[in-house]
Structure 1
């Protein structure tokens, strides 16, 4: 090889020049005609061109290399300067600083890093593995390991923290020194560690905490000393941690300072020797409660001391698993409660005695009211007998007298007797409603059948006072007792007309859900609120007008209550009033039958034989006179025995029976009816009675006989005899 590539460019150029000169001499020495020489010349010329080109390339490469070397030198100088600056900067940091690369080896650290760990500081050299660094720290004599933790345990815990991207923790050193270690991961995967000496901060915080604890302890003690309760505080080990003087006062003993730390069981034993626990509680139960380690439920107990004082204790757990026991003197409260209990017992006895007296008085009042109602009912029944007879006599008198003055007097007398009958009927209704013996025959009632007769009856009365009476027609059918419903509406309308001086009275119906709301409006003087309850009492009237006894609204109120028709009143003085009641609407309207006036009975064609059993002589005479006037024959008997003897004597079978129910002693009318039908077979009959009770109606229904009430309805009696 002619040129050594390892030589310098100058040496290589020198060798090439010598080679060219030598070749030129040899070419000149040869014969120009020699072909070999010429070929060698050509090769030499070609080689010279290649050498020249190679020389240019080498020169260019040399220039590039020199330029690169210059730049590298400048970069080395910059890197050295940067490294020096970084080292200076890190050194100026107040904390300890260390950098580990991505391969977990120490790159650099300042002089403050691990300065407090004097025994490992010299061993922190560049390239030290992180795990070796942690082991050095764990084995350092300056590290203060937590109680019960070995160096290997500390290393394992430290390496777990190293796995976090960022972590901050404190390390305890010997001689009450502390380091705060901050570890952060760099973008290239390295690790930066900062160490800050926080000893001064820890000591300042400790001093402040001790100062606060001391202040809190003083404040707590002052608070406890000002409580009226005795208080003892126990720690999580059930040992006495604090108390106030009131606790010793309650138990009449002094607790010395060396009592601090005494177990709860010992204190409970001392208390148990001085007091008796209530409700069977034992000292052992208190010990068992205190021995629980957390989860204690509040405990309340009472104890009585030898001198009779009663103390109430309450124990409750605190969040740190300690507990507080408070004791209060409840002797005055217990004595007051005992005295109050005795007073209550005395009052209860007095109330019981008074209640018995009131019950006896109430029973006596109820007996008196019942007796009154029974008397009224009996008196009303007895009054019906002569009243019925008087009406029958008047009816016969009117027929005999014919038109003229006597007939007019008879009609006026009949009207007067009708008023008397209304009063007696009202008294009878009141007595039955009070006794709860009123019989309601609830059925479908067309309101038109109630309203139309009242319009004809009351329009003259309203017209005489100059009032307008408007009764609004309705096609509704309701469920009620027709007789009582008519009486209710009639009383409300009569009262409205009576107590209205000018204006008008209106009767109408509104639908109210499934009910018909019957309303009676008037433009009268109105009723004050304080008087609205008074008007429903019997014999109570706000103004004395007419000849009434004040029974109308009393009957209305009791009848509405018995029928279940809610009654309400709106009234305003000077404007007027509205009485209303709600009556259920019937599911199916009842078929309305027009009642035709009964014609004068004419029994002369057949002249039936009528057996009349009536113990009231006047009524019997009036009935006999009226029936015989119609053309029938009457056999009269005062009682059942007399009737049986009379029939046995005449040996005749009667065509009809008129039997009074109340015949005095002996057999009743229904019993006599059963005996006569058993003897003679089926005979048309009517039971005569002023008793409107349900039991009598049910008895008549069972026997298949109709009840004809007193006063006797002349039309019904005539219709019965005409149908024979």
Structure 2
């Protein structure tokens, strides 16, 4: 009975009890009225009592009618609930009967609640005895009594106990074999109320299919085993645990002369012994005997049989049988004997040759000693040359700062002088001086770059970028030079991504384009990009006079120029070769006299990357520098004088100091500069970045600052990039400095 039905029944009982109480109250009131009439003669009192009783009776009657109405509604709801429960139970039974699997349900007390006909199909003998309310233990004992499970035929009590344990756990499925040959899979699970629901599935066909598959697999394995045995050159036979022949190959019949039917000649292990000993005359040493279970490792022996020799190997199988293999080693033993005789002859010859070689070795030893002496001398010379090269590289790297300091000062003075109003002859001299200083600067920069490449001070920073953007920058850079030379410069490129070091690749292409403009008298210089497989080929094509094939390798060496009348230093292509070797890029040169030249480089294709904020070119706004206070911190007096002259010519108020202490004394009046220009290497180990930080702390404000240094090392660039301080390399180009100041000054 459901919970709703139980509630309806209890409510009906309460209404009936209340009805009985009302009836008793009504009877008591009527009895009181009658007794009052007999005992009192007062008419008015009786009238009042009658009126009061009538009101009470009317009230009680109304309550009784309400109770009867509620009782009728409760009876109607109860009947509807009974009808719904009966319909649900019928539907549940129909649903259970419609499934193919056997279904059975036990309550929390392990008593039978519900089952279907498919469940009875597994226990037809139990059908007359099955009833609701039976315990599962009774059903298990009945099944064992009628010997329905196969396990109950042998040991019914043990089967019943094991079945009750599995039923009590009810954690999944297991398989039972029935005595009529069927197989059933039983899945039992606990319900939320503590009962057990069981699903019984007939898997007889699945078991039969599995048995057929296993038989087929065994047959295939036997075929594979026989095919494997037939491919062996050794004769093989296999006996089972009873000594009967179970497998053999064709090589066995050929080696032992068994004829076309080895199974008849070797039906058992004893036949093999008789055939080998009597038929072949084999001198048995026990290797053909049957091995008991104590023999684990294989047994192998060499057994003579007349003029033939057999190597016999016996191995015990895991099932207790034996496998014998026969190998005819007669020819092999004959060959070994011949080899031994040949070896003895060779040993005698070796002894004779050894005596001859000893004398030759003595002479060779003397020659080797002489060669070692020569190699040692060559090694020392190589070490000395390498040390000299390193010394040269170190000298150039160390001397660059001292060389560039006076050059920087001279450039500043010449730039300041060029800003003044001069006579034409004097202006020509200033222009020639500036050109000469630029040539010296280019030469020093090229020498310094070669020394840094040789010393390994430059490490490539591989990234992915668009080659067309780099070429557009170079187009802006070299168009004035090409126009001044009367040449047409064209960039033919697509938005292609490449993988390389942007700075080194820019240097390579700069040298290609500048050489093309320098050595082309008329015509054009064209730059092209083309995809070749997984690479991009960038070529610089000019219409110059061309290069003979005998000179094409020479031009990549230092200080090699084909045209001595040009202003080149002969170092550009040397830098190109070193940078390309460092990046692993291949350089191409195609040229012939009168046909122009094509210099090309092959780059790996890159992958597109998202542009970071701040990428692109920002055009500086034009700001006047008139009256701007500039603090120059440099320990070289010539540099101080040159910067004062140059910046003063631009209208700036220049204050120069040798270090942080002197700068603080010069600004003791509380004023502060608009911008700081500091050299990196100052006196007594002080550095420009530290001086800038101290000055900003002293003034209490983030004053714009620029670092100026002849040090071109990557470490300094990384350090200044982290702090956001711009870096200008010495010698400082006035135009570059002026553009930077206009950008940074507020």
Q: Report which of the two structures shows the higher radius of gyration computed on alpha carbons.
A: 1
